[in-house]
Structure 1
Amino acid sequence: MLKSPLLPRFGDLVDAILDDVLTQGLTLDRAYARHFSGIELKPQEQARIALVTGDLLRRLSLYCNLSGIQVRQAAKNVWPLLHSWHAFHKIDMPNHPSLDRFNEEAFRRRLTEAKKNPVLMDGCPSWLEKLGAEQLGDAWPAERAALAWMPKRYLRVNSLKCTKAQLQAQLNKEHVSTIPVEGVDSALQVTSDSALFRTKAFADGWFEQQDAGSQLVAAALDVKPGMKVIDACAGAGGKTLHISALMEGKGRLLAMDVEEWKLENLKQRARRAGAHNVETRLITSSKTVKRLKESADRVLLDVPCSGLGVLKRNPDAKWRDTAERLPILMALQEEILQRYSQMTKIGGILVYATCSILPSENRQQVDKFLAANEHFRLLDDHNVSPSQTGFDGFYMARLERIS
């Protein structure tokens, strides 16, 4: 957390980023890229701006309430939100002309009332509170609170290039402090405020930044060197690169996606990581999948989902049309699971995964698939709970093709 006030020029940058997200509909990462690319900022300055922007979005409804404005007015009233943010965290106020309009007495009164409302204190919009309570019941309040936390920074050690001890030693030389993560062998938690992507260790491909919970997904595949493995919804390839490392770079690893630019990004990352067994293939039609019928020892389906397990990292999703999109996403998940599962050979394992904590996207989808496909059986499944682990939220189910 900041110990000194945000400089006015950085506050203006937060204002511009939030306008892009809340008014223009840009995702937070794209808004960061748009504004950070055009100006020269030190890594620490970028980190300060991202810290404030991220926390404002994680609990936007709270800071709006404390400022006496409606959420729909937030994009036009960012400086009042910033003053409330500083007051809430007991940080000296930025020197900005709008400070004259900040009413400390009204702020204190609103804060006293807000503390009686846990939903508001967690910055949870009404649609998400309804959905979470319906699907998770008594477990929801703890998850709701955890999703309002600031995310920790985790790395995945690239075992194709180094060991965990070697990476820690190299990062320590570059003034990056890390600690091991219990229960996730490939993970390190970054405990210092350091510019990770300017390190020699990153340039040399020794690590990827990846949530510790996300690292459990590739591990669930139980791959072995020499196997044929398909990552059928590879995206930019974070899990693909992890799978390659687990395969020790041996065997055939096919990364597939419907968006070519993501696969181009993956190719660059694979070269840096030394993941030479990665092949990419664009899914252009249903024939792309049919040609691979019963060909793979392992198939990963990291399907498109609501992303409600990763709200700490993508807080802008709280203020999008996620509730309306959920049925569309669930229909897509069902279609992908049905069609892409055919690539698994008899005796092979399929892993269905999401970054959601909703049963409707997770176990209920698996149960529906198994009821319609007797040639698969459930081996096990696992929920990664943000409240219990401190990680992002994930789900993974391991299915074996038996006939």
Structure 2
Amino acid sequence: MLTYPLSGSSSELVLNVLSMVLSQGKPLDRAYSQHFSGLKLASDEQARITFVVGDILRRLNLYCYVVDIEAENFERVGSKLLNGWHYFHQLDFPKMKYSLQVDTKELDERIEQAKTHPALWDGCPQWLDDLGAQQLGGKWPAERSALALAPKRFIRVNELKCDKQQLIARLAKESVTAIEVNGVESALEITSNSALFRTDCFKDGWFEQQDAGSQLVANAVNAKPGMRVIDACAGAGGKTLHIAAQMQGKGRLLAMDVEQWKLDNLKTRAKRAAAHNVETRIIASSKTIKRLKLSADRVLLDVPCSGLGVLKRNPDAKWRDTPERLPVLVELQKTILQSYSRMVKVDGMLIYATCSIMPQENSEQVARFLKENPHFTLVDEEHIYVADHGFDGFYLARMRRIEA
């Protein structure tokens, strides 16, 4: 949380990043990359900028309501929104070159009005509030509130290069404070505002930035040295590298995806992490899957999903997504689960995972699959809720193939 207002230059950066997201429809990570590239910002100042941007996006409709503007008009009234945000958090107004003023008496009245609307206070758009209530019932209000909070920073210790205590000690020498995380052996929480990616620890591959909830998914794979493991929706490869560490570099770990650029990035990350048993393969057609039929001890399906468990970290998604997208994703998940499960050998394990908290994508999807595929049986499942753990939200289910 800020204790003093943003500087003029930082205010301009916040407005530029938000404009790129809200007016141009660009993803938040791309907006950060474009505006921070080439700037030599102090790590604490960059942290302040990302905190303000993130908080505004997590509760965008609330702050727009307070200052009585429409997000669609951000390009024209962004400075008013930033002034309102400062007032809301009891900070002096930032000194911007051009700034639309606010009426503090009117802001006080609208803040009190907003408190009577819980979904608005939590920064939740109507479509998401309706969906959450339908899917999660009485559990939704706590999840909705938790998704409005700033995410904690977690990293995963790369046990191919160091152990947890060695990493904590080396990070401390680089002015990075890290503490252990209860219940997640491979995770550390970063409690300082340090620029992690500038550290020698990161450059030497001693850790990866990865949410603690995400690490629980890879833990569920429980890969052993010498196994044949397939991460069939590898993406950027965070879970792939975690599995490689479980395998101690022994055995075969095949990372697959439908997009080559993601696999190319994974190769670079694997080299830095000393994950030498990682092999990448593009999924060019259904034949790629058929050739691997009944071949793997473990298959991880971290399927494309709504991402509604990671809105703390990706708050711009709330204002870009629509409820119409979910049925399309559910159908895609069903197709992937049915097709890719063929790669699991008898007595092997299939791990299905999403970064969503919605049953439609999770337990309901798995129940349908098991009903249609009696040669698999459920071993266990885990719902990683945001309000319960403070991590991002995830779901995982482990299923064993009992016959071909």
SS of residue paired to 2:324: helix
Report the residue type matching 2:115 in the other structure. Answer: K
Q: Aligned with 2:62: secondary structure?
A: helix
Q: Is the 8 A contact 2:23 2:74 kept in 1?
A: no
Residue 322 of structure 1 corresponds to 322
Provide the rounded CA distance (Å) in 2 between the counterparts of 1:100 and 1:192.
34
State the partner residue of 1:40.
40
Q: Is the 8 A contact 1:64 1:74 kept in 2?
A: no
Percent identity over the alignment?
62
Alignment-derived partner of residue 398 in structure 1: 398
**Corresponding residue SS for 2:396:** strand
Aligned 8 A contact 2:11 2:96 in 1? no
> Partner residue of 1:121?
121
Greater Cα offset, 8-17 or 158-167:
8-17
| Residue-by-residue CA offset, 1:291-349 (whole Å, 9 max, x unaligned) | 10010000000000000000000000100123121111111100000000000000000
Whole-angstrom distance in 1 between the partners of 2:211 and 2:268: 21
Pair 1:104 & 2:104 matched: yes
Aligned to 2:341: 341
Q: CA deviation at 1:99?
A: 4.8
One-letter code of the match for 1:187?
A: A
| Aligned residue in 1 for 2:155 | 155
Deviation at 1:117, TM superposition (A): 1.5
Displacement of 1:206 in angstroms is 0.6
Relative to structure 2, which stretch is displaced further, 54-63 or 194-203? 194-203
Is the Cα–Cα contact under 8 Å of residues 79 and 100 in structure 2 kept in the other structure? Answer: no
Deviation, structure 1 residue 43: 2.4
Contact 2:354–2:396 (CA under 8 A) maintained in structure 1: yes
Q: Is the 8 A contact 1:233 1:257 kept in 2?
A: yes
Q: Secondary structure at the match of 1:361?
A: coil
> What whole-Å deviation, never above 9, does each CA across 1:153-201 have from its counterpart, x for those lacking one?
0010000000101000101111111111000000010111111111111
* Matches of 1:13 and 1:200, distance apart in 2: 27
> Which secondary structure does the structure 1 equivalent of 2:95 belong to?
coil
Q: Which residue of 2 aligns with 1:365?
A: 365
Q: Distance in 1 between matches of 2:264 and 2:366?
A: 31
Partner Cα separation in structure 2 for residue 351 and residue 75 of structure 1? 44
Q: Which residue in the other structure is 1:170 paired with?
A: 170
Distance of 2:59 and 2:291 partners within structure 1? 47
Tell me, what secondary structure is at the counterpart of 1:245? helix
CA distance in 1, matches of 2:227, 2:162: 22
Q: Distance in 2 between matches of 1:351 and 1:69?
A: 45
Q: Show the 5 A alignment for 1:2-401.
A: 2-96=2-96, 99=99, 101-401=101-401
One-letter identity of the residue aligned with 1:319:
W
- Give, as a single letter, the amino acid of the residue that structure 2 aligns with 1:323: P
Q: Could you state the TM-score of these two structures normalised by the residue count of structure 2?
A: 0.98
| Bigger shift: residues 110-119 or 391-400 | 110-119
| 3-state SS of paired residue (1:311) | coil
Q: How big is the shift at 1:100?
A: 5.9
Separation in structure 2 between the aligned mates of residue 290 and residue 23 of structure 1, nearest angstrom: 44
| CA–CA separation in structure 2 for the residues paired with 1:120 and 1:52 | 18
Aligned partner of 2:241: which letter?
A: L
- TM-superposed CA distance for 1:91, in Å, is 1.4
Instruction: Give secondary structure in 1 for the equivalent of 2:235.
Output: coil
Q: Which consecutive unaligned segments of at least 5 residues does structure 1 have?
A: none
* Local SS of the residue matching 1:101: coil
Cα distance between partner residues in 2 of 1:372 and 1:94: 59
Tell me, in whole angstroms, the C-alpha distance in 2 between the residues paired with 1:75 and 1:319.
Answer: 16
* Alpha-carbon distance between aligned partners in 1 of 2:97 and 2:175, rounded to the nearest angstrom: 38
Contact 1:158 1:206 in 2 (8 A): yes
- Please tell me whether the aligned partners of residues 289 and 340 of structure 1 are also in contact (alpha carbons under 8 angstroms): yes
Equivalent residues of 1:151, 1:312 under 8 A apart? yes
Q: 2-side partners of 1:12 and 1:174: how far apart?
A: 30
2:378/2:397 contact within 8 Å kept: yes
Contact 1:19 1:76 survives alignment (8 Å): no
Structure 2 distance, partners of 1:174, 1:39, is 21
Output the CA distance in 1 between the equivalents of 2:76 and 2:60. 13
- In terms of mean alpha carbon deviation, does 26-35 or 90-99 score higher? 90-99
More divergent stretch after superposition (5-14 vs 251-260): 5-14
Do the aligned residues in 1 keep the contact of 2:43 with 2:193 (CA within 8 Å)?
no
**Partner secondary structure for residue 294 of structure 1:** coil
Q: Residues 12 and 96 of structure 2 are in contact (CA less than 8 Å); yes or no, is this contact kept in structure 1?
A: no
Partner secondary structure for residue 306 of structure 2: coil
